[in-house]
Every structure is written in C-alpha cells, then in structure tokens.
C-alpha cells in the first residue's frame, strides 16, 4: 500500500517562507500574500485589514491571502472552534473585493463549496487522464460548504463579509491524522492522505492553496455576474445529500426533516417534508436513518 508523504516519518511540513515564495510566484494578481507560523484566526486578521482599509489606512489592492501553520482561535460554522495542529491541517483565508448584492450573499457558501470540491477533484485526477475522475467520486460536498471523503469530513469553508465590500473565505483542510481525530471527536474524519493513496498522487501544499485561491477568485467573479444559477448543475454533480433522509437543526432544535433534493436558484437546500418542499437557508444538516416518509420528486 502506498504511504502518503504526509504520514511518512521523514516528512517535514514546508516552512512559512517556502509557502510564501511559492504562492507569490503562483498568484501574481494577489495584492498581498502572507504565511505565518501562528495567529489567532486568518479570517479575523483579513477582516481587520479590510476595516483598516475602510479607515483609509494604506493597504494593497485585493485579493489578499493569509495562511498560518497554526490558528489558536480558528473557527468553523456557527462559531465552533476548528481543531488544528501545525502541519496536520492546511489553514488559510483570502479576502476579495465584491459588489454582490446583500440579498444574494447566502448563495456564496454553496457556490464556493462546489467550486472547491471540483477544484480538488481536478487536482487529484490521474495524471495524463484528467477526464477520468472515478477514483474521486467519493469526494463530495455536504451543503452548504463542507467537503467530505466517503462521507467523512475532510474540510470546511467559512465565508464572512467584512468592511469595504469585502468577502473573506477561509478553509481548514485535514492533511493527516484522521484516525486519531476520529477517535478524539467520536465521528468519522477524513484527511488528504487518504485521497493521495486512492489516487496515487501527491501535491505540494502550496500548490493546493494557489489552485484553490484562484478557484475562489474565479467563482466569485462568476457569481457576481450570474448569481447562484451558474453553480446549480455543478452542485448536483457533487451533492453528498441528494436523495438522503436528513434533519435540519439549529441550536439543538429540529427545524425540518425530509428528503434532500438539491438546491434552489438562491442556493438554499431543498428538503421535501411531509408538508411540502421547504427551502433551507441556515442550519446544520445531518443524514438520519431511513424514515417511512419518502417524499416525492
């Protein structure tokens, strides 16, 4: 069995200087690129930079990228802390200038989730045969913005708005240690090493970051022009919840339960409940055991 380089005893995680040099070369259109050993939250740091920009402090043009080997105050959806360890998780954020109307902002999360999932699929497609992604079909998106590998969480995105018409997009991607983390959290966790083994391919972490950052930049441009409808078909390709019996919860309360049926033109999750089709804008979605109610297409 092929061993992922991230799990090899001799593997050394690239230094912040290595990240910075590779990213500066790969992302010439980015106005600022930084990679640090440790910070509280890359999302929070970029939001603060945007706030200073609004106060007319001298700042470089967006987009900006900030990564960190360790985030001491990293967070996921609903403000939950993101478990991370230097070298085991790839953590970075980008800030983009946008003029997307406020009413369309909710659809950005699934749009970026779709784009990120497809970007990773393309990166790890077998060399010389980019059209054959059969080994990567288990890499899917759980609405709105969690990436999964064989149903286990691989990565999460956090999208936030900031001053000066800025959207900040953050990502935490598990590189290694899924087995230990699964035991610690009591639920299945995936890591990039598992994908590398399945596809017999490994990439430098900076290459992943650069490709994903460019993907986000293009996705936001497409979203600003065409809205979420530009991503509906792609969502169906990577939808991990399609046809599943699900529960939608918020703050411990069940809001809806039924059959997941993709997304609507605004990026909301469609759930066929016993009383009809319900569009879901917020909430944690979990797959639940089969229920007598099957819904209708």
The string of pLDDT tens digits covering residues 93-145 is 999 999 898 889 889 999 999 999 999 999 998 764 555 567 789 999 999 99
Q: Are 125 and 194 in contact (CB under 8 A)?
A: no
∠ CA 261-266-269 to the nearest 5 degrees?
Answer: 30
Q: How many CB atoms lie within 10 A of CB 7?
A: 17
pTM (2 decimals)?
0.89
Q: What is the mean pLDDT of the chain?
A: 87
Between CA 257 and CA 234 the distance in angstroms is 24
178-181, Cβ contacts within 8 angstroms, sequence gap of 24 or more? 178/152, 181/83
Walk along the chain (297 residues) and give the pLDDT tens digit of each residue. 344 555 554 457 999 999 999 999 999 999 999 999 999 999 999 999 999 887 766 678 999 999 999 998 765 544 455 555 668 999 999 999 998 988 898 899 999 999 999 999 999 987 645 555 677 899 999 999 999 999 999 999 999 999 989 999 999 999 999 998 888 888 999 999 999 999 888 999 999 999 999 999 999 999 999 999 999 999 999 999 999 999 999 888 899 999 999 999 999 999 999 999 999 998 889 887 544 444 444
- 119 phi, psi to nearest 5 deg: -65, -45
């Amino acid at each position: 069995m092929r061993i992922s380089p991230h799990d090899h005893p001799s593997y050394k995680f690239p230094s912040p200087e290595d990240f910075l040099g590779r990213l500066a070369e790969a992302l010439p259109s980015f106005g600022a690129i930084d990679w640090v050993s440790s910070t509280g939250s890359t999302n929070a740091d970029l939001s603060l930079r945007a706030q200073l920009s609004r106060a007319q402090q001298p700042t470089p043009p967006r987009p900006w990228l900030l990564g960190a080997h360790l985030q001491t105050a990293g967070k996921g959806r609903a403000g939950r802390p993101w478990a991370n360890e230097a070298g085991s998780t790839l953590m970075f954020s980008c800030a983009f200038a946008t003029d997307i109307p406020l009413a369309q902002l909710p659809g950005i999360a699934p749009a970026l989730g779709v784009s990120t999932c497809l970007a990773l699929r393309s990166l790890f497609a077998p060399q010389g045969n980019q059209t054959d992604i059969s080994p990567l079909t288990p890499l899917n998106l759980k609405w709105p913005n969690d990436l999964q590998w064989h149903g286990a969480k691989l990565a999460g995105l956090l999208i936030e708005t900031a001053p000066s018409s800025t959207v900040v997009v953050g990502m935490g991607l598990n590189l290694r240690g899924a087995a230990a983390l699964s035991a610690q959290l009591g639920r299945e966790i995936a890591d990039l090493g598992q994908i590398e083994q399945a596809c017999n391919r490994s990439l430098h972490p900076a290459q992943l970051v650069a490709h994903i950052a460019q993907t986000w930049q293009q996705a936001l441009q497409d979203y600003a022009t065409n809205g979420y409808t530009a991503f509906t078909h792609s969502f169906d390709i990577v939808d991990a919840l399609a046809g599943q019996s699900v529960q939608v919860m918020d703050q411990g309360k069940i809001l809806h339960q039924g059959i997941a049926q993709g997304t609507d033109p605004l990026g909301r999750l469609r759930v066929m409940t016993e009383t009809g089709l319900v569009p879901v804008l917020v909430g944690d979605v979990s797959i639940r055991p089969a229920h007598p109610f099957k819904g209708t297409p």
